[in-house]
């Protein structure tokens, strides 16, 4: 088949997930046609409540011919190659993944083949068929393993915080943190492999590639579930009066949260001025972060409901006690990008528009 001619076209893997759907909405509004890949493996990973089929149906109904969805597996080179042969892409946004470090331990081979091998399949077809495009990969802060837990942390009433004398106090953790000599979790290791490969395709083959090492990515489009999607799942539990389990650290563990639309806007800035093999820590930073205890209190206040909480002393293996992303490097490279959502705006969005 001859490639279709189109001035602007984007490939979005995991197009029915939180970031994939946000990317689809954003870039169609910018005049792009979107080719999506999603086989709803999230349902396989986490069960029916985590299925993203509803999002795919919504996107197809909303956009018609502007959104073409392929139900295929990113590990299948024949299927992926056929898609690349049939389309000229200006941009590739790769969000498809096995996203849970808890789940990865159950099926390490599935986790690795999806996260690492699937990424390599996409990169090689990008190199062969759309080498002028820009390739954006959503990595994770789990590539740093549990190294953040070795920082000088101080216990406060409702959260852990880093010592004020430490260089990371003002802005958070930057890209200088080592990914070596640390316990990553199986998930973290598979994402490291993919992360390094995306860097290498940029630097070795001189292609436009960018890696975002995300903190907690969230928003009302998130199909939150027990093993993935902390904030969306917590709010869902409070709203539906479902038991929520806190795993370790006295519930004072801190996460920075970035709204999916702020992240996708960052993708757009990269598209306008791409770089080669660049890595960015990306999250809510000091602008938007919260501890689990603080999040429970805020959700209860907004929803006027009492959370049903169970506490386990056993923290998740390799889990972070305190993680706040330093986004200074990205802001320095792309000074016109700014946050739209703070933590209060994120809560308001999920509580009002969340998929419960």
Q: Where are the domains of the chain?
A: 9-353
Given a cut of 50, whether residue 346 has pLDDT beyond it is yes
What whole-number distance in Å separates Cα of residue 157 and Cα of residue 159? 6
Q: Could you tell me where the DSSP H helices lie in the chain?
A: 18-29, 41-46, 53-63, 77-86, 101-104, 108-112, 118-129, 185-204, 230-239, 260-272, 292-303, 328-333, 343-353
pLDDT for 5 equals 54
Angle between helices 53-63 and 18-29 (to 10 degrees): 10
- For residue 183, CA distances in Å to 147, 314, 319, 321 come to 8, 16, 9, 14
pLDDT for 224 equals 66
What whole-number distance in Å separates Cα of residue 78 and Cα of residue 82? 6
pLDDT interval class at 229 (50, 70, 90)? low
- In the CATH scheme, what is the code of domain 9-353? 3.40.50.720
**Angle at Cα 92 formed by Cα 91 and Cα 96, nearest 5°?**
155
pTM above 0.85, yes or no: yes
- Among 2-6, 99-103, 236-240, 345-349, the range scoring the smallest mean pLDDT is 2-6
pLDDT for 49 equals 79
pLDDT per residue as tens digits for the range 191-227: 999 999 999 999 999 999 999 999 899 998 776 666 5
Given a cut of 50, whether residue 2 has pLDDT beyond it is no
pLDDT for 1 equals 44
pLDDT per residue as tens digits for the range 120-170: 999 999 999 999 999 999 999 999 999 999 999 999 999 999 999 999 999
Given a cut of 80, whether residue 6 has pLDDT beyond it is no
pLDDT per residue as tens digits for the range 71-108: 999 999 999 999 999 999 999 999 999 988 889 999 99
- Residue 170 structure tokens: 């003002």
pLDDT for 291 equals 97
What whole-number distance in Å separates Cα of residue 57 and Cα of residue 94? 20
What whole-number distance in Å separates Cα of residue 311 and Cα of residue 246? 5
**Angle at Cα 84 formed by Cα 82 and Cα 263, nearest 5°?**
130
Count CA within 13 A, CB hemisphere, residue 171. Answer: 12
What whole-number distance in Å separates Cα of residue 28 and Cα of residue 26? 6
């Amino acid at each position: 088949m001859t490639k279709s001619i189109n001035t602007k076209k984007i490939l979005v893997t995991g197009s029915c997930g939180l970031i994939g759907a946000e990317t689809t909405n954003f870039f169609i509004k910018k005049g792009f046609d979107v080719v999506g890949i999603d086989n709803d493996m999230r349902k396989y990973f986490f069960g029916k409540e985590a299925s993203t089929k509803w999002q795919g149906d919504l996107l197809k109904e909303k956009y018609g011919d502007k959104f073409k969805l392929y139900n295929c597996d990113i590990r299948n080179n024949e299927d992926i190659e056929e898609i690349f042969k049939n389309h000229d892409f200006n941009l590739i946004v790769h969000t498809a993944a096995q996203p849970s470090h808890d789940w990865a331990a159950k099926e390490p081979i599935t986790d690795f083949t999806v996260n690492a091998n699937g990424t390599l399949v996409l990169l090689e077809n990008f190199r062969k068929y759309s080498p002028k495009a820009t390739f954006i990969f959503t990595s994770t802060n789990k590539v740093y393993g549990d190294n953040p837990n070795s920082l000088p942390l101080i216990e406060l009433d409702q959260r852990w915080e880093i010592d004020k004398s430490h260089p990371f106090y003002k802005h958070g953790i930057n890209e200088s943190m080592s990914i070596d000599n640390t316990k990553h979790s199986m998930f973290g290791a598979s994402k490291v492999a993919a992360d390094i490969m995306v860097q290498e395709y940029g630097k070795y083959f001189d292609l436009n590639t960018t890696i975002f090492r995300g903190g907690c990515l969230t928003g009302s489009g998130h199909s939150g579930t027990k093993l993935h999607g902390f904030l969306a799942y917590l709010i869902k539990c409070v709203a539906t009066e479902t038991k929520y389990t806190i795993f370790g650290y006295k519930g004072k563990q801190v996460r920075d949260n970035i709204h999916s639309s702020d992240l996708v806007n960052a993708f757009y800035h990269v598209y306008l001025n791409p770089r080669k093999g660049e890595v960015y820590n990306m999250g809510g930073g000091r602008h938007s972060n919260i501890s689990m205890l603080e999040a429970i209190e805020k959700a209860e206040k907004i929803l006027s409901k009492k959370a049903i909480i169970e506490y386990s002393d056993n923290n998740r293996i390799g889990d972070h006690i305190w993680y706040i992303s330093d986004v200074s490097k990205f802001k320095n490279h792309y000074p016109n990008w700014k946050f739209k959502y703070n933590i209060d705006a994120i809560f308001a969005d999920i509580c009002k528009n969340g998929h419960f």
